[in-house]
């Protein structure tokens, strides 16, 4: 008999392959975070995705969590092609690229300085949040986690100095869609220091079904502008002033 994990993984895999959405009422909810991580791993394997990156966060209660971020990885000028009817959100973020593996180290947690030392680049990134679940605004958290925290695609922007993480409040985020400014405010991270989430995941208490942090992977550290809803499709300019402006399109 199929388990909740199997049923959910099959539904999310079919939605990814069909570039479509699945009705939330047809989906079982994982029992807990561990079950959601197991679903992620099954979808990742079924789709043949490379373990290219991680979207990291901290759940209620302080447990570090993450979702695979297989891409597609885009660059300025590219187009994110969404499923028909999908709700899209734009998140301006900072990311790091690992230059060396960070194996799990129980009892000897990595420090912030060691995390930076294991990275060979810091970058500006734009995540397009696009869930496979239709009407996901009231979805149970384990189900949201199972769907890779809504990862849709990721635009890799320019490399920046690691010192950018020290004071994100000095930056300004803005998102413009088809000429209309949807958002313009000082950058703000939910954890203050954006590296808190990446460091928490590096120091997670146990290994997960998708394994650990590997050289070459991208770790995105969380939004500096919340999730800016895109009410329509069209050309977008996302700015992290005074650092960069990234142009792309939603289609």
Each residue's pLDDT tens digit, 152-169? 999 999 999 999 999 999
Query: Cα-flanking dihedrals φ and ψ of residue 159, to 5°?
Result: -70, 145
Q: Which residues of 164-202 are buried (b: 16+ CB within 10 A; e: fewer)?
A: bbeebeebbbbbbbeeeebbeeebebeeeebbbbbbbbb
pLDDT at 136: 80
163-222 confidence digits (pLDDT tens):
999 999 999 999 999 999 999 999 999 999 999 999 999 999 999 999 999 999 999 999
| Whole-number Cα distances in Å, 229 to 96, 125, 173, 236 | 25, 17, 14, 12
Class of domain 4-167+190-227 (CATH, top level): alpha beta
- Phi and psi at 47, nearest 5°, equal -80, -10
Q: In 10 A of CB 95, how many CB atoms?
A: 27
pLDDT of residue 188: 98
Question: Does residue 1 carry a pLDDT above 70?
Answer: no
- Residue 230 pLDDT greater than 60, yes or no: yes
The dihedrals phi and psi of 154, each to the nearest 5 degrees, come to -145, 125
pLDDT value at position 201?
97
Cβ contact 74:153 at 8 Å? yes
């Amino acid at each position: 008999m199929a388990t909740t994990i199997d049923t959910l993984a099959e539904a999310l895999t079919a939605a990814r392959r069909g570039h479509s959405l699945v009705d939330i009422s047809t989906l079982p909810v994982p029992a807990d975070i561990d079950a959601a991580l197991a679903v992620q791993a099954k979808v990742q394997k079924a789709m043949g995705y490379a373990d290219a990156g991680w979207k990291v966060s901290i759940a209620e209660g302080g447990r570090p969590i993450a979702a695979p971020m297989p891409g597609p990885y885009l660059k300025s000028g590219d187009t994110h092609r969404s499923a028909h009817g999908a709700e899209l959100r734009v998140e301006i973020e900072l990311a790091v690229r690992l230059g060396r593996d960070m194996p799990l180290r129980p009892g000897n947690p990595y420090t912030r300085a060691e995390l930076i030392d294991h990275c060979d680049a810091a970058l500006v990134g734009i995540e397009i949040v696009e869930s496979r679940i239709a009407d996901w605004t009231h979805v149970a958290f384990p189900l949201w986690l199972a769907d890779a925290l809504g990862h849709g695609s990721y635009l890799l922007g320019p490399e920046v100095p690691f010192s950018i993480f020290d004071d994100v409040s000095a930056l300004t985020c803005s998102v413009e869609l088809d000429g209309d400014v949807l958002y313009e405010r000082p950058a703000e991270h939910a954890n203050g220091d954006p590296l808190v989430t990446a460091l928490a995941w590096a120091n997670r208490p146990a290994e997960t079904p998708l394994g650990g942090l590997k050289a070459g992977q991208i770790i995105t550290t969380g939004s500096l502008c919340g999730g800016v809803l895109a009410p329509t499709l069209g050309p977008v300019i996302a700015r992290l002033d005074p650092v960069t402006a990234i142009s792309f399109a939603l289609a």
